């Protein structure tokens, strides 16, 4: 098995320690959600994916271009100060048309030492279709009974007989 090299990246007043999953800006530890940290490491390891600086609302943001294996191009805009995801831009097919789609992420809260967006607004500038997702609660690693993963009965199928308690 090959061991992957981990690096420490330094730029401006930022230090990124890959092995420790640590981001330090101006001497202060910054809490970053795992997905954002992995994207940051990817960008540092793959120069040229960073498209440039942009604005989302009143915040400066880094615009990152990602191309999927099937060739779809998506853009992720990360807050230039906190590195939290602010916006996603891409395209979706609907009714035989390719439409621009975007999602905005906000109301970040700390859950178990990680930041999660508790509000997501999505839609297309080409249609009036929008959706707003408000998350009330996030639990990390909750205990879930095995029965929650049982295959549901088909319509009209009888439930198996109950096993009496002994």
- 0.75 exceeded by pTM: no
**Is-contact 15 9, C-beta < 8 A?**
yes
Summarize pLDDT for 116-139 with one digit per residue, the tens: 999 999 987 666 778 999 999 999
**What is the secondary structure of 6-54 as a DSSP string?**
--EEEETTEEEETTTTEEEETTEEE---HHHHHHHHHHHHSTT-EEEEE
* pLDDT for 116: 95
**Interior/surface letters 70-79, b for 16+ CB within 10 angstroms, e for the rest:** eeeeeebbbb
Q: What is the largest CA-CA distance in the chain?
A: 69
Summarize pLDDT for 63-94 with one digit per residue, the tens: 888 888 888 889 999 998 888 999 999 987 77
Summarize pLDDT for 11-35 with one digit per residue, the tens: 888 899 888 888 898 888 988 888 7
The Cα–Cα gap between 6 and 19 comes to 6
Domain ranges of the chain: 8-140
Between vectors from CA 18 to CA 16 and to CA 23, what angle results, nearest 5°? 35
């Amino acid at each position: 098995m090959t061991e992957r090299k981990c690096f420490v990246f330094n730029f401006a007043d930022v230090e990124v320690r890959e092995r420790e999953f640590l981001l330090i800006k101006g001497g202060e530890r910054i809490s970053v959600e795992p997905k954002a940290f992995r994207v940051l490491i990817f960008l540092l390891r793959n120069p040229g994916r960073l498209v440039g600086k942009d604005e989302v609302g009143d915040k400066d943001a880094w615009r990152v271009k990602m191309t999927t294996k099937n060739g779809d191009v998506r853009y992720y805009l990360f807050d230039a100060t906190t590195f939290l995801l602010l916006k996603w831009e891409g395209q979706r097919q609907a009714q035989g048309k390719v439409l621009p789609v975007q999602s905005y992420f906000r109301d970040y809260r700390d859950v178990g030492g990680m930041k999660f967006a508790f509000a997501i607004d999505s839609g297309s500038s080409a249609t009036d279709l929008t959706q707003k997702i408000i998350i009330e609660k996030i639990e990390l690693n909750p205990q879930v009974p095995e029965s929650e993963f049982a295959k549901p009965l088909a319509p009209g199928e009888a439930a198996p007989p109950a096993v009496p308690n002994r």
